[in-house]
Amino acid sequence: VAMKTPRVPGCLGPNVYPAVPDGGWGWAVAMTFFIVEVNTYGVLKTLGVFLQDLMEEFQESNSRVSWVISISAFIFAFTAPVASLLSNRFGYRLVVMMGGFLMSLGMICSAFTSSIYQMYVTIGIISGFGFCLSFLPTVTILAQYFSRRRALVTAIASSGESFAIFAFAPAFSRLKQAIGWRCCLVVLGAMQASVVVFGILLRPISIEPEPVREKQQSAYELENKQTRTSLSSAVSSGSGDSGVTSLSSSDQDLRDNAEEASLSPSLVQKDLEESLLDFSMLKDAAFLWYCLFGLLATLGFFAPQLYIIELSKSRGVAPSVAPNMLSVMAVAESVGRFSIGVVMNRVSCRKTRVLLGCVVVMAMVLLAFAVVWEFWGLAVCCALYGFFMGTVGSTHIPLLAEDEVVGISRMPACVGVYVFIQSFAGLAGPPLGGVLVDVTKNYGAAFYSCAAGMGLSAVSLALVGVAKSGLCHRTSGRENKEEEQVSQDNKPLDFLEVDLVEVDLVETSPVDQAEVV
């Protein structure tokens, strides 16, 4: 079923450009993405401030409380294909606005829960689904508005996550002492409702490089060209059908080309929906390795922010200073996002190699968390982790648009599958760290699982380039064989073959004359 485009005022309707604008209304979309980052990943990674309060309120262990974050992260990623289909059916704007409403509803309802299991539903399922509906369509349409500046703009806009962690961690640590953690969740829910307002700015984009008239003109030129070719071929070959058969086939080709040139928007939209439901990209070895990289790297995306405050307290940092570790991470993450955006715009090598270097260093930093003590050691680790987390977090999804992974034409279909596969690591990451903490009674143990996942993800990312190079080599080999076959088919006749053909024509000509008489 094709998407029904509602009649909207010109200021809210689709933007039509002859090429990717690399700006224009894209800056309004980038601002919306900043707000979405604040209210999705920013809020999700700030919930570690309430970890100890939830454990004391519901008398639960670290692992059970951490399931609130993991379920939310799982639903966030698991429902990505649903968000892609809904965006295609109803448009980006409506889906993002609905996501803002759901995440606000779930967060406010969490303030009135009486057990941790109820929070699994409110924050885990309701808010998690709202996170997905808001985030995925926004990052997809942002990539369509930018080409040359895509990496830089995405890095700057995604700094909303860092801004939220920097501001929310110390603010809500003090605010909960004044009004309690339940009222803090209400405040967070009210802030998340702002996504409903900013979602209005997500105007769809349409790239129309050629006017319709030129396409119709090219079709008529094709008719004239094919007609002349058919007539000349008929005369030169001495055909007895007066070229009627050739003209009829030419007319059929014209109709086929005219139909292709004048496809209705409903048919185009239908093809787009089929591409979103098409999982043929899983046959691409490079994309499979990249999905495995995202799956393993996600193990280190949420647990450090969840446990860093309690780790700092256990390593000699004052309870009033411990929340500032999240702020150190946030500032460094902002610097990392901006730096990687500049680097990605200037490098001439494969961008996946730059990302690989960041992942390797990030794995070593996660190992360092388990052995450092006191304020300065933890602060340095937080700064390094935040910087490289910014480089990885702001590039791993936009890199899908690069030809070295899948390319911009296949990104809308691949991003849903990629984030869907990531969801399983988001479900396992925080509880796995919680189990290690409960067993060892050491918060540093939670960082071992993060480091292991990040190290294995580096291996998978390195194999993306290997798989892509092998695919390109096989493709070029097939193209060379096809070119050789075409050149053999078009090879001119030898002189001996030409002489034999002429002899046959001379011998058969008297017979033809007799038949005519």
Three-class SS state of 155 = helix
Beta bridge partners of 17: 207
> pLDDT digits over 364-378, tens only?
999 999 888 888 999
What number is the average pLDDT over the span 412-434? 80
> pLDDT digits over 384-403, tens only?
999 999 899 888 888 888 88
| Residue 480: per-residue pLDDT | 53
Q: Which of 33-42, 123-132, 333-342 has the lowest mean pLDDT?
A: 333-342
Query: Under a CB-based contact definition with an 8 Å cutoff, are residues 394 and 342 in contact?
Result: no
Report d(CA 43, CA 36) in Å as an integer: 10
pLDDT band at 514 (very low <50, low <70, confident <90, very high): very low
pLDDT band at 354 (very low <50, low <70, confident <90, very high): very high
Query: Under a CB-based contact definition with an 8 Å cutoff, are residues 272 and 5 in contact?
Result: no
DSSP characters over 160-186: HHHHHHHHHHHHHHHHHHHH-HHHHHH
Report d(CA 133, CA 291) in Å as an integer: 21
The single-letter code of the amino acid at 87 is: S
pLDDT at 457 over 60: yes
The single-letter code of the amino acid at 389 is: M
Position with higher pLDDT, 207 vs 232: 207
Task: For CA atoms 297, 299, 302, 308, give the dihedral sign.
Answer: negative
- In the chain, what percentage of residues exceed pLDDT 90? 29
pLDDT at 220 over 70: no
Report d(CA 329, CA 317) in Å as an integer: 16
Query: Under a CB-based contact definition with an 8 Å cutoff, are residues 190 and 65 in contact?
Result: no
What are the φ/ψ torsions at residue 17 (nearest 5 degrees)?
A: -130, 150
| Residue 101: per-residue pLDDT | 97
Position with higher pLDDT, 489 vs 246: 489
| Residue 414: per-residue pLDDT | 82
pLDDT at 114 over 90: yes
| Residue 289: per-residue pLDDT | 93
User: Between the CA atoms of 251, 252, 256 and 262, what dihedral angle is there, to the nearest 10 degrees?
Assistant: 40
Report d(CA 110, CA 189) in Å as an integer: 9
- In the chain, what percentage of residues exceed pLDDT 70? 75
DSSP state of 240: S
pLDDT band at 183 (very low <50, low <70, confident <90, very high): very high
Query: Under a CB-based contact definition with an 8 Å cutoff, are residues 326 and 456 in contact?
Result: no
| Residue 484: per-residue pLDDT | 55
Report d(CA 169, CA 325) in Å as an integer: 9
What number is the average pLDDT over the span 219-241? 41
| Residue 275: per-residue pLDDT | 47
Three-class SS state of 158 = coil
Any alpha helices (H) in 262-369, and if so which ranges? Answer: 265-277, 285-297, 303-314, 324-346, 351-369
- pTM for the full model? 0.67
| Residue 413: per-residue pLDDT | 74
| Residue 493: per-residue pLDDT | 45
Q: Please report, for residues 3, 307, 331, the alpha-carbon distance to residue 449 in angstroms, rounded to integers and kept in the order given.
A: 44, 13, 25
